[in-house]
Amino acid sequence: MKTSAVLLVQCRDQKGLDAAIADFIYATTEIFCILSSTSRAKTLFTLARVEWDLADFQLPLSDFGAKFAPSP
């Protein structure tokens, strides 16, 4: 049975946002496999959707929110 996770992000648009999301997933996955990704900027905000395979994801999903939180 294949499992995947979907991350939906809505935030202020900024350069490098898609790369930062991909880098975060890459850092917590032995085998990097994004299944789909979309991103669109509307005025000052970005809406992004990333889906990835959880087969080799090393971070417990219960810890995802705290680890993905913005840096102070």
Domain ranges (residues) in the chain: 4-68
- Provide the pLDDT for residue 1: 55
Per-residue pLDDT, 32: 62
**pTM metric for this prediction:** 0.69
| Residue 67: per-residue pLDDT | 87
Residues in a beta bridge with 37: 50
| pLDDT of 31 | 62
CA dist 44 → 11, 12, 20, 30, 48 (Å):
8, 6, 18, 34, 13
What is the CATH class of 4-68? alpha beta
pLDDT (tens digit, 0 to 9) for every residue of the chain, 72 residues total? 568 888 888 888 888 888 888 888 888 876 666 777 777 766 667 778 888 888 888 888 899 888 888 776
The dihedral through the CA atoms of 33, 55, 47, 38 has a sign that is: positive
